[in-house]
Copies of this chain bind each other. A is one copy, B any other.
Amino acid sequence: MKEIQVGLIGFGTVGTGVVKILREKGDLLSSLVGVPIKLKRIADQDLNRDRGVPVPKGVLTDQVEQILEDPDISIVIELIGGLEPARSFILKALEKGKHVVTANKALLAHKGNEIFKKAMDSKLDVGFEASVCGGIPVILALQQGLVANEIESIFGIFNGTSNFILTRMTEQELPYSAALKEAQQMGYAEADPTLDVEGLDTVHKLSILMYLAYGAPLNPEAVFVEGITRIGALDIAFAREFGYSIKLLAICRKEGSLLEARVHPTMIPKSHMLANVQGAYNALHIKGDSVGDILLYGQGAGMMPTGSAVVSDLVNMGRNINKGIAQRIPQNLSIQRFKEKGLSFKPFQEVMTHYYFRFSALDRPGVLSTIAGILGANQISVASVIQKGREIEGSVPIVMMTHEARESDVQKAIQEIDRLAVITDRTVIVRVEN
């Protein structure tokens, strides 16, 4: 083999990072693979924008077929994001016998079962290191480094935008809206931040990790999700008083044959390493039955970190191509394992955890006892209460931390409480992990 030819679809931020790395480190990468890697063609709709990296004449095209139909290209990198046409391009590439590298977590979470099956049937590989936690080698850890482990739990901060906002709210005591605005000004949040702040992006990434760890079929619907938009500066201040930080956490825990999977703002003890993950950083905490606790930390997004992950896939795929092999890591087996082991998702209503409630109530006698009564009637036992006289628009915050309680009981109780005439706003619920 003289060289491995690569086609890149999508010349946006991450695509530019990939092109930069391939340009600057071509010799190094070729020596790490064993044969040269050549970026033969880049397809993008915008042929004119200056990305700050020179591209030889003839490489850039707006015709994606020039990549998909080129028999000399053996690896296609998909970096356009979104479901369509990314899905069609990837399926077409696989049909044409090309390996695929993608950073597209939304696509894998929603259509990964189809894509991985197609790759398996075609005896091809799909690299997706860049789809979770950017430059942190988390896919590698699960597919290779931790194979001797049953994964007992996964805790993670997978969304830099949300973590940046929560960090600014904590450090600067900003309200949510001001922190979001700052994140947008600094380029950490998009004009429409929904996917990030509502937790959906985190759900996509958790789904991919559960596919690797348990063979769980890719299905974002199976993961409970709640975003950070209702967290107030007040909640962060109370959390601090109780010794906690609030993070948008992805949580997966295996108990027997049940998998708990949820994404929501979570109070974690300030001393936990995840509590110290600040700004736009990501981290993954895994507990394995052999290895114990592992934490992987780094930049989860951005041109160069994500480019680094894409290129690592390219190198590892290139090494396989150079050796004339594919499917070195049996990708389908994890799904079989899920079925063989009789695993299933635990209904969210049955989750047991600790809770923080912030009630907004009129400052009247008897309110506290009414609330406590409803909680008690729903088997929710209160561990501590803070009621401080700071009146905000006529109501006072009453904060409670509970002992372990059941999600269904909590939802029932809070619905009942929120209907009381003395309650002036929807109760804020933050789940707590100790």
- Tell me whether B148 and A31 are in contact (CB under 8 A): no
- Tell me whether B147 and A315 are in contact (CB under 8 A): yes
Task: Tell me, yes or no, whether A328 is within 8 Å of chain B by CB.
Answer: yes
- Tell me whether A146 and B312 are in contact (CB under 8 A): yes
Task: List chain B residues, Cβ under 8 A from A297.
Answer: 273, 293-297
Task: Tell me, yes or no, whether A337 is within 8 Å of chain B by CB.
Answer: yes
In the complex, chain A residues 245-297 whose Cβ is within 8 Å of any chain B Cβ: 273, 276, 288-297
Copies of this chain, complex-wide, total 2
Task: List chain B residues, Cβ under 8 A from A319.
Answer: 328-329
Could you say which of A113-121, A198-206, A302-310, A378-386 contacts chain B? Answer: A302-310
Contacts known (A141-B137, A330-B31); A148 close to B311, Cβ less than 8 A: yes
Q: How far is the CA of A34 from the CA of B17 in the complex (A)?
A: 35
- Tell me whether A316 and B144 are in contact (CB under 8 A): yes
Q: How far is the CA of A31 from the CA of B304 in the complex (A)?
A: 35
Contacts known (A147-B312, A320-B328, A333-B31); A305 close to B276, Cβ less than 8 A: no
- Tell me whether B29 and A312 are in contact (CB under 8 A): no
How far does the Cβ of A280 sit from chain B's closest Cβ, in whole Å?
10
- Tell me whether B144 and A140 are in contact (CB under 8 A): yes
Q: How far is the CA of A291 from the CA of B297 in the complex (A)?
A: 11
Residue of B nearest to A330 (CB): B34
Task: List chain B residues, Cβ under 8 A from A191.
Answer: none
Task: Tell me, yes or no, whether A21 is within 8 Å of chain B by CB.
Answer: yes
Task: Tell me, yes or no, whether A129 is within 8 Å of chain B by CB.
Answer: yes
- Tell me whether A148 and B299 are in contact (CB under 8 A): no
Q: Mark A312-327, 1 if CB is under 8 A from B, else 0.
A: 1001100110011100
- Tell me whether A141 and B144 are in contact (CB under 8 A): no
How far does the Cβ of A421 sit from chain B's closest Cβ, in whole Å?
47
- Tell me whether A315 and B32 are in contact (CB under 8 A): no
Task: Tell me, yes or no, whether A59 is within 8 Å of chain B by CB.
Answer: no
Residue of B nearest to A286 (CB): B298
- Tell me whether B295 and A299 are in contact (CB under 8 A): no
- Tell me whether B290 and A305 are in contact (CB under 8 A): yes
Residue of B nearest to A137 (CB): B145
Report which of B25, B32, B295 forms a contact with A298, defined as CB distance below 8 A.
B295
Task: List chain B residues, Cβ under 8 A from A145.
Answer: 129, 137, 140, 309, 312
- Tell me whether B328 and A144 are in contact (CB under 8 A): no
Contacts known (A291-B299, A328-B320); A315 close to B144, Cβ less than 8 A: yes
- Tell me whether A32 and B147 are in contact (CB under 8 A): yes
Closest 9 CB pairs of A and B: A137-B145, A135-B291, A148-B311, A290-B308, A295-B297, A294-B298, A291-B308, A323-B325, A148-B308
4 more contacts with CB within 8 A, not counting A33-B330, A290-B304, A291-B309, are A31-B337, A134-B291, A145-B309, A291-B298
**Complex A-B: 15 CB contacts under 8 Å:** A25-B148, A29-B147, A31-B330, A33-B330, A140-B141, A140-B145, A144-B144, A147-B316, A148-B315, A273-B276, A291-B298, A292-B298, A292-B299, A295-B298, A328-B328
